[in-house]
Amino acid sequence: MSNYRTTIGLSLVLLGLTGGAALPAGAQAAAERVASHTDWSVFVAGSPKECYVVSPPKSSKALRDGKPVEVDRGDIRLFVTYRPAENVSGEVSFSGGYPFRDGTPVKLQVGSQNFTLNPGSKDADSWAWPASPDVDKQIVAAFRAGSSATVTGVSSRGTTTIDTISLSGFTAAVEDAAKRCQ
């Protein structure tokens, strides 16, 4: 994990549920859902203030040795977060609902663009982030232009999961969150 993610909140862990969305760790108080834009919700939380957009997958599948399997997973969510007190603007993160395999990157595809997300440390091993704020910006731009995102991860048990997330409403949601956390 890079210093970038360590500095801004390596402690990002699943704290609870509010309106069906997992809370990023920066949310010290309960998050409040303040808006919904098609498939994306906007939340505002805590002091210091944090805003984020979040969406669950429209579809998920799991494969082991190339064959479909049933798996138990926690919350699966794609986030873009703003924490003005930490100068964080448009941080992308993914919660896979299970511990990712150590050293195996999570793949994110939006149209023909491919990105790599890096799984967190022991305390955040079910989360993955891009390597830098520059990659966050590239991913957010791809989300704005795309219709869906596909996230492929490998669990610590060797199961490959493929989650497809709609990007319908993303642009309106991310602009809303950014405005609320200026």
Q: What is the pLDDT of residues 141-163, one digit of tens each?
A: 999 999 999 999 999 999 999 99
How would you classify the pairing of strands 59-64 and 50-55? Answer: unpaired
DSSP label at residue 155: B
Binned at pLDDT 50, 70 and 90, residue 97 comes out as: very high
In the chain, domain spans: 3-180
CATH of 3-180, one of 2.60.40.1880, 3.40.50.2020, 2.20.25.240, 2.60.40.10: 2.60.40.1880
Note the pTM of the prediction, 2 decimals: 0.86
Would you state the pLDDT for residue 29? 56
49 close to 84: Cβ distance less than 8 angstroms: yes
Q: Which of 23 and 124 is assigned the larger pLDDT? A: 124
